[in-house]
Structure 1
Amino acid sequence: MQIPIINTSHHPLPEYQTAHAAGMDVRANLTSPITLKPLQRALVPTGLFLEIPVGYEMQVRPRSGLAYKHGIGLVNSPGTIDADYRGELKVLLVNLSDQEFVVQDGERIAQLVVARHETVQWQTVETLSETARGTGGYGSTGVH
């Protein structure tokens, strides 16, 4: 699949780090570092503009290394870039640790995953089919 992209940053395009990776790492495009205090969030620019094909979305997901080592995640995880969005890709980072974290220019801050999706048409009905689970919700499948 080819996706049109404009790169206004001075960093390489998002790339897979291993042969079978699902996500491509994306980098911060900063004129100066951003310091995230504990529980603070920031919208971090990437300098990238994408044209996602209709029927697909670009998911923006946290990087496991940043999450594990520094408590850095995404506020809206996964974030979705829709096929009709043409603005700059920005990543909404949050510091969930008890220590400050400094985001540097060029740092790999998130990963991007392309996913196909369906567009649904609602069908209003009076009843739904029966299943063994029924209306059992949160935690109900682990209790017998």
Structure 2
Amino acid sequence: MTESVDVLIIAPEVPAYAHPGDAGADLVSSESVRLEPGRRALVGTGVRIALPEGYAAFVVPRSGLATKYGITIVNSPGTVDAGYRGEIRVTLLNTDPTEAYDIAPGDRIAQLIVLPVPRVRFIPVDTLPESVRGEGGFGSTGYQQTTGSNA
């Protein structure tokens, strides 16, 4: 079992894990919002946290909302830095082209994942060491298309 981290919180509803072993705790809406097709809205959660130094929280979409209704987060993952003490608000986007989506107070709208984040030192150099991937970017590994034949 992994060790737990204490996070101080002020919230009308404390984020909760739906299942043992889940990475993300559910964030719920603190307000009513109607998301029209193709529109976005900043939705409050009422949650304020104090993360320990060396940690950050990441706000990520809920897969069920994305799959069933096309609701996602515009700036996913949203980053909550250890020094931030304001309300965690979520910028939701309705990607459905025809159906509006209504959010009520208490609806699960996102997940919060808390992770350790090391402080790094950026070291300027003239060249970088070689790697297997090299400079290959988007699509550089290709894809395999299944044709259904054994040929």
Instruction: State the TM-score, normalizing by the size of structure 1.
Output: 0.91
Secondary structure (helix, strand or coil) at the match of 1:14 reads: coil
Deviation at 1:137, TM superposition (A): 1.6
Where does residue 93 of structure 1 map in the other structure? 92
Where does residue 51 of structure 1 map in the other structure? 50
Where does residue 62 of structure 1 map in the other structure? 61
Deviation at 1:74, TM superposition (A): 0.1
Deviation at 1:140, TM superposition (A): 1.5
Per-residue deviation, residues 83-110 of structure 1 (Å, max 9, x unmatched): 0001011111110112100111110000
Secondary structure (helix, strand or coil) at the match of 2:68 reads: helix
Secondary structure (helix, strand or coil) at the match of 1:92 reads: strand
Structure with greater Cα Rg? 2
- Cα distance in structure 2, aligned partners of 1:85 and 1:70: 31
| Alignment gaps of 5+ in structure 1 | none
Q: How many residues align structurally?
A: 138
Q: Does 1:71 align with 2:70?
A: yes
Where does residue 6 of structure 1 map in the other structure? 10
- Cα distance in structure 2, aligned partners of 1:58 and 1:114: 4
Q: Does 1:24 align with 2:25?
A: yes
- Cα distance in structure 1, aligned partners of 2:68 and 2:23: 21
- Cα distance in structure 2, aligned partners of 1:117 and 1:56: 5
Secondary structure (helix, strand or coil) at the match of 1:15 reads: coil
The structure where strand makes up a greater share of residues is: 1
Deviation at 1:141, TM superposition (A): 2.1
Secondary structure (helix, strand or coil) at the match of 1:68 reads: helix
| Alignment gaps of 5+ in structure 2 | 144-151
RMSD: 1.2
Instruction: State the TM-score, normalizing by the size of structure 2.
Output: 0.87
Secondary structure (helix, strand or coil) at the match of 2:83 reads: coil
Aligned sequence identity (%): 46
Secondary structure (helix, strand or coil) at the match of 1:16 reads: coil
Where does residue 41 of structure 1 map in the other structure? 40
Secondary structure (helix, strand or coil) at the match of 2:66 reads: helix
Question: Stretches of 4+ moved more than 3 A in 1?
Answer: none
Secondary structure (helix, strand or coil) at the match of 1:67 reads: helix
